[in-house]
Chain A
């Protein structure tokens, strides 16, 4: 059978495939319908804009996590990393006021440091897993504790607050809009596009998938496994720093409670989106939907008093499990495999 004549058999297959990948999108649409029927204000411009902006943090981090997970790794440190970067960024900017003033220069310095810190923290995670040959779970569990306690230490147990004088210059990064969309949403869009291209259209993306699918094959296929894996953690770090850059101007503060459980939300978003937790298959588009689904659940729960507040976690848990089940369930698919 040649390549061009196989379309008839391929069709049924790809149709099924589409339904599967559309799972998260369907779940999101259903959630929106539920939200709208509970309260029409759910679809108001203001709320949609809030939703998208909120999704940006988890979404951007989750895009980084998509690379790590696709390549067969895991990064539990992202939430603490965000808090630590936010803390250090605030300290640096507060101290730079005397030298650079309260304008854009200080903000840029803060952002630059954030990016360096993020990439550096990712590099540490990557090198410890690859060269140190320690399981990613353990390495990032360790760095998670370290970053979390560092921010507590920097803040002296309390809250680090950004100098009010700088906020004027920095505030627009969170609160302003461009062409009707808040800046964080634009950042999210750009990161998504770059992430999608990187994962689906470059050799690097292919290498991530290959490593996650079978590290042995990757090694024998002339792939520098350690380097690629380390880079995935650095991408994760970069994404965390970008999320932090748009997070800090929101409230201008960081404390030990910043970014708590973000790692789990990011991982959940990635998995809801259809990426396989054990690696080898990643979907940036799905991750974006996953992040939107997670924020929408929280948003809808705030929009109704039908469900006891104490059961919020139950609702979130149920929806996450159902969303993944919809995708994974073997819907009567006869497993056709020949000799």
Chain B
């Protein structure tokens, strides 16, 4: 038993829980308890068993052995979300919203308020409005989910859980897609809930957040319970070490000096497209160029326009000195430019397919031999990629959707790199992946640049931008507001440009 678990009464407790899927054991005798009014973080690398534990705590999985205690009594949680009736709510990582319905309809889905058998829209809308104001979210209850940004959808999901009077709120990486500003709003809400006595379990890969918000931390590694500690007693390094089980040398590889005289491989001038206004910048050979800014600042739109994914309204693009405009993604790929999406699930990988077709999809023409696909060379490519990117799958025939986020991200990297691009744009390179994999991705990006590939990193994680990039461009409302270089790259500067306190467009 950790640190005197019985001292304070726990609302929900996992006692020596083990779980196997078929013959594959995933959790080994794990303990965890959640107290009313505490934030309990659950951390661990991808594949450590966090999601499984959360699903067991919310009744979506049965434990193979061990006990679940609710209010101190042993219970069998009702399956398939039935535990919500007990006040145990799990917010899935994949947002669980009906895209074509409104915010209000989603929040009241399954427990609509009625008056005389007819939906009482007014009352529902009023309540939703209240919730939204509470959380500081500026969207209308009548907005359609499909029109919202990912961040807003995430917030709606949280509002939905809050509206259900949860006693235990279990959240799987709620902040993964939120900007820092949004995360702050979110944490304020969490603190309010905490004060009301709600027990909160949350999973995050952002260790600084974990440190900031949680009271206690439980660490899992390879399905083993490593420990439960008071958050105040732990440094970020200690957390990372307990997760990884080895010394983590610096997260970011040493910065290699940028070659100031390198050729400019990409020159963009006065680019205007949907969500992009008059953007100009250069990219040098072997450079890592960061794009920072708030979500919705137009960073992704810039590169979608350049790569032929969205139409360009005006402006010029030079690649290796020659003016060009790509009519299709294929044309951009053939010119050596590849864009790696931040939306792994909707735009990056075919989740119902295996690794091989995913790996080669982007550069499939390369694998065509006499009209037919050369399966052998595809297999060879997969073997190479698995080695080069350290992709770990239980089974090579696994559907990509069943792989952990970190391995998916590595596969997505491998997929894009299969086209051997000279310029690669990586959008949110480490979204939703664990610290070990992050480190691998950072080292990989640095190595690429060292080989002479130019890399654009679009990221909402400030430390990543600061730790990785030679130069940083900050965007706001579709415009570039500033360019930072060398020692000038620091958090305050970026925030000032991103928030519009400082910048080229300002008088």
- What 1/0 mask marks residues of chain A from 318 to 339 whose CB sits below 8 Å from any chain B CB? 0000000000000000101111
**How many interface residues does chain B have, given as a range?**
35 or more
Closest to B348 in A: A217
Pairwise interchain contact B347-A209, C-beta atoms closer than 8 A: no
Query: Cβ of B448 < 8 Å from any Cβ of A?
Result: no
Our pick among A10, A210, A219 for the contact of B396 (Cβ within 8 Å) is A10
List of A residues within 8 angstroms of B343 by Cβ: 216
Our pick among A10, A14, A206, A213 for the contact of B364 (Cβ within 8 Å) is A206
Give complex CA distance A39, B263 in Å.
81
Q: Would you list which residues of chain A between 198 and 223 have a CB under 8 Å from chain B?
A: 201-203, 206-207, 209-210, 213-214, 216-223
Closest to A8 in B: B395
Query: Cβ of B141 < 8 Å from any Cβ of A?
Result: no
Smallest CB–CB gap between A164 and chain B, Å? 43
List of A residues within 8 angstroms of B346 by Cβ: 214, 216-217
Pairwise interchain contact A210-B397, C-beta atoms closer than 8 A: no
List of B residues within 8 angstroms of A339 by Cβ: 26, 46-52, 404
Smallest CB–CB gap between A335 and chain B, Å? 9
Q: Would you list which residues of chain A between 1 and 42 have a CB under 8 Å from chain B?
A: 1-3, 6, 9-10, 13-14
List of B residues within 8 angstroms of A281 by Cβ: 352
Closest to B334 in A: A222
Pairwise interchain contact A206-B361, C-beta atoms closer than 8 A: yes
List of A residues within 8 angstroms of B49 by Cβ: 338-339
Pairwise interchain contact B47-A214, C-beta atoms closer than 8 A: no
Smallest CB–CB gap between A121 and chain B, Å? 26
**How many interface residues does chain A have, given as a range?**
20 to 34
Pairwise interchain contact B382-A220, C-beta atoms closer than 8 A: no
Smallest CB–CB gap between A34 and chain B, Å? 35
Pairwise interchain contact B351-A214, C-beta atoms closer than 8 A: yes
Interface centre among A3, A221, A334 (most CB of B within 10 A): A221
List of A residues within 8 angstroms of B353 by Cβ: 209-210, 213
Give complex CA distance A2, B396 in Å.
8
Pairwise interchain contact B349-A217, C-beta atoms closer than 8 A: yes
Query: Cβ of A197 < 8 Å from any Cβ of B?
Result: yes
Pairwise interchain contact B330-A209, C-beta atoms closer than 8 A: no
Query: Cβ of B505 < 8 Å from any Cβ of A?
Result: no
Pairwise interchain contact B404-A201, C-beta atoms closer than 8 A: no
Closest to B387 in A: A2
Pairwise interchain contact A213-B350, C-beta atoms closer than 8 A: yes
List of B residues within 8 angstroms of A2 by Cβ: 386
Pairwise interchain contact B396-A6, C-beta atoms closer than 8 A: yes
Pairwise interchain contact A338-B330, C-beta atoms closer than 8 A: no
Our pick among A202, A207, A209 for the contact of B372 (Cβ within 8 Å) is A202
List of B residues within 8 angstroms of A207 by Cβ: 364
List of A residues within 8 angstroms of B111 by Cβ: none
- What 1/0 mask marks residues of chain B from 445 to 464 whose CB sits below 8 Å from any chain A CB? 00000000000000000000
Closest to B364 in A: A203
Pairwise interchain contact A338-B47, C-beta atoms closer than 8 A: yes
Pairwise interchain contact B309-A219, C-beta atoms closer than 8 A: yes
Q: Would you list which residues of chain B between 319 and 345 have a CB under 8 Å from chain A?
A: 328-330, 332-333, 339, 341, 343
**Given A209-B357, A222-B333, A3–B383 Cβ distance below 8 Å?**
yes
List of A residues within 8 angstroms of B362 by Cβ: 221-222
Smallest CB–CB gap between A195 and chain B, Å? 14
- What 1/0 mask marks residues of chain B from 339 to 381 whose CB sits below 8 Å from any chain A CB? 1010100111111110001001111110110011101000100
Pairwise interchain contact B373-A206, C-beta atoms closer than 8 A: yes
Pairwise interchain contact A338-B21, C-beta atoms closer than 8 A: yes
**Given A3-B386, A210-B361, A222-B362, A201–B372 Cβ distance below 8 Å?**
yes
List of B residues within 8 angstroms of A209 by Cβ: 353, 357
Pairwise interchain contact B309-A214, C-beta atoms closer than 8 A: no
Give complex CA distance A217, B309 in Å.
12
Our pick among B47, B309, B351, B395 for the contact of A6 (Cβ within 8 Å) is B395
Smallest CB–CB gap between A129 and chain B, Å? 19
Give complex CA distance A209, B328 in Å.
20
Smallest CB–CB gap between B446 and chain A, Å? 25
Give complex CA distance A9, B329 in Å.
38
Give complex CA distance A219, B330 in Å.
9
Give complex CA distance A197, B348 in Å.
27
**Given A9-B395, A203-B365, A224-B328, A338–B402 Cβ distance below 8 Å?**
yes
List of B residues within 8 angstroms of A216 by Cβ: 343, 346-347
Our pick among B24, B383, B386 for the contact of A338 (Cβ within 8 Å) is B24
- What 1/0 mask marks residues of chain B from 414 to 430 whose CB sits below 8 Å from any chain A CB? 01000100000000000
Query: Cβ of A280 < 8 Å from any Cβ of B?
Result: yes
Query: Cβ of B22 < 8 Å from any Cβ of A?
Result: yes
Closest to A220 in B: B347
Q: Would you list which residues of chain A between 80 and 110 have a CB under 8 Å from chain B?
A: none
- What 1/0 mask marks residues of chain B from 224 to 240 whose CB sits below 8 Å from any chain A CB? 00000000000000000
Smallest CB–CB gap between B294 and chain A, Å? 23
Interface centre among A13, A210, A339 (most CB of B within 10 A): A339
List of A residues within 8 angstroms of B46 by Cβ: 339
Give complex CA distance A214, B345 in Å.
9
- What are 24 A-B contacts defined by CB distance under 8 Å? A3-B379, A3-B383, A10-B395, A10-B396, A14-B397, A201-B372, A203-B373, A206-B357, A209-B353, A210-B353, A213-B350, A217-B346, A219-B329, A220-B309, A222-B332, A222-B333, A223-B329, A223-B330, A224-B330, A280-B352, A337-B21, A338-B49, A338-B52, A339-B404
Q: Given contact pairs A14-B397, A337-B21, A339-B46, enumerate 6 new A-B contacts (beta carbons under 8 Å).
A: A3-B382, A6-B396, A217-B347, A219-B309, A221-B361, A339-B51
Binding site for B on A (CB under 8 A): 1-3, 6, 9-10, 13-14, 197, 201-203, 206-207, 209-210, 213-214, 216-224, 280-281, 334, 336-339
